[in-house]
Amino acid sequence: MFETLTEKLQTVFDNLSRRGKLTEADVDAAMREVRLALLEADVNYKVVKDLVARVKERAVGAEVMKSLTPAQQVVKIVHEELIATLGQPAKLDLSGPTPHVVMLVGLQGSGKTTTAAKLALHLRKSGQRPLLVAADTYRPAAIHQLEVLGKQLDIPVHSEGDKVPPPQICANAVRRARESAYTVVIMDTAGRLQINEDMMRELEQIKQLTKPQEVLLVADAMTGQQAVNVAKTFHERVGLTGLILTKMDGDARGGAAISMREVTNVPIKFVGVGEKVDALEVFHPDRMAGRILGMGDVLSLIEKAQATMDEEKTRSAAQRLMKGEFDLEDFLGQMQQMRKMGPLSQLLDMIPGMGRLTKEIAPEVTDKQMKQIEAIISSMTREERRRPEIINASRKRRIARGSGTTVQDVNELLSQFKQAQRLMKQLAAQGKGRRGGRFPGFPGLPLG
């Protein structure tokens, strides 16, 4: 189990501080942990140095808020600083005359081709007429890959095989777009190393010939310390206008985002969250910051929870939970609340000690399964939700019919619920053992 930054800082402050103002000594001790946490998240070493300096400046002398411990106060400042560094999400710039030209660049294997298709779909949904351009003439079958994706989405792909130089292909594509009234041209360029002189020159040529409005660096969220050099060099050579972070559906902490933002100062425009063509999302700096700080970081969860949770409901659920009462209604209510906050598995991971819950009851609770669970519980009577033990075979059949599922599905849900209930009781018992008889700093914690 990960030890969260908050927990680590808690131990630091246990030896040091009382409430009131944060002193320089407090902050110095805390900064070491902050620094390590950021480095573990793959934020670049030099960037961490600057960040830590900024945080320190803000933290020394800061008033510790009544509701927070000094540790949480420091994490809060770090969190805010990260959000500020990540910047606000920005939309694609599609102003001015059509066709708008969008150029995707990046290292090999960062996900340009998939992203090109996702972007095209996204733009078509917003009323554009996109044209995809297969400008990767190097990787075997890259052109074919884009063509297959184009066919799937019914979006035209401009390709001239792999014998024509990419700058020429791109220039032709823009001409074709103008003539055929396409509104956006999305150019999928070949992956290249930022130190490959010839290949970088090719990008410059493409840029010169097509005058793209957007030059987006597609980068893997798993990138390590190199993110800085990659982003910096691409930015110097072709003038980036934005970043797209891919493979965010994995468990990478994504510190590369901070590094790349810091050296380019261009906004993160999208994140890729899956292999499906619609798995492209706008960027949320607050979620990203929480993620970089580490899973299980209670503070970002508090903030999330405050923003989205119906406090009354949660509090009553939490109280009942502590008493070991936890029924299907709470289960459903919390699932619905949590859906507003993001993927369930990620969320559970954020709560210390909940990682194993994710594994035990929900190896992979997808949104689809979630909908099914909702449907099943909604098909129960109030009585059934409060006292699931009364659900007999005939009730199960009725519930299955009502929710468009099978009795097996109902059974599965009930057994999952039972498991969850058992875990809740265990956790509640643990919670009582701790200081103050509640989970540290988290009165309204969902599910515990």
Binding site for other proteins (CB under 8 A): 36, 39-42, 44-45, 107-111, 138-142, 144-149, 152, 193-195, 220, 222-227, 229-230, 247, 249-253, 255-256, 275, 363-364
Nearer to other proteins (CB atom), residue 147 or residue 286? 147
d(CA 197, CA 25): 49
20: left (phi over 0), alpha (psi -120 to 50) or beta: left
CB 10 within 8 Å of CB 76:
no
- In whole angstroms, how close is the CB of 194 to other proteins at the nearest point? 7
Residue 321 is encoded by which pair of tokens? 């939970």
Cβ-Cβ contacts under 8 Å for 271 (sequence gap 6 or more): 221, 244, 245, 246, 248, 280, 281, 282, 283
Cis peptide bond N-terminal to 343, omega within 30: no
Smallest distance from the beta carbon of 149 to other proteins, in angstroms?
A: 5
**Residue number with CB closer to other proteins (251 or 383):** 251
Q: At what angle do helices 70-86 and 45-59 cross, to 10 degrees?
A: 130
Cβ proximity to other proteins: between 108 and 180 the closer is: 108
Smallest distance from other proteins to CB 28, Å: 16
Kindly state the smallest distance separating residue 293's Cβ from other proteins, in Å: 14
Q: Which is nearer to other proteins, 2 or 21 (CB)?
A: 2
How many CA atoms are closer than 13 Å to the CA of 138, on its beta-carbon side?
Answer: 11
Considering beta carbons, is residue 207 or 253 the nearer one to other proteins? 253
Nearer residue to other proteins within complex by CB, 147 or 310: 147
Pairing of strands 268-272, 280-281: antiparallel
Considering the complex, state which of residue 135 and residue 227 has its C-beta at the smaller distance from other proteins: 227
Nearer to other proteins (CB atom), residue 147 or residue 303: 147
- The nearest distance, CB 86 to other proteins, in angstroms, is 17
Return the number of the residue (223 or 421) whose C-beta is nearest other proteins.
223
Measured from the CB of residue 192, what is the shortest distance to other proteins in angstroms?
10
CB of 94 to other proteins, least distance (A): 27
> Closest separation between CB of residue 54 and other proteins, Å?
19
Question: Does residue 81 contact residue 258 with C-beta atoms inside 8 Å?
Answer: no
Token representation of residue 85 = 């560094």
Question: Nearer to other proteins by C-beta: 230 or 445?
Answer: 230
Nearer to other proteins, 152 or 415 (CB): 152
**Using CA atoms, how far apart are residues 244 and 223, in angstroms rounded to an integer?**
13
Q: Which residues are within 8 A (CB) of 173 and not within 5 positions of it... i.e. 6 or more apart?
A: 131, 133, 135, 158, 185, 187, 210
The SS3 of residue 14 is helix
What is the nearest approach in angstroms of other proteins to the Cβ of residue 361?
13
From the CB of 191, what's the least distance to other proteins, in Å? 8
- Using CA atoms, how far residue 95 sits from 29, 98, 100, 117, 214, in Å, is 49, 8, 8, 21, 11
From the CB of 200, what's the least distance to other proteins, in Å? Answer: 12
Q: How far apart are the first and last CA of the chain?
A: 17
Long-range contacts, stretch 34-39, CB < 8 angstroms, 24+ apart? 34/5, 34/9, 34/74, 34/78, 37/5, 37/8, 37/293, 37/294, 38/255, 38/258, 38/292, 39/255
89 and 70 Cβ atoms separated by less than 8 Å:
no
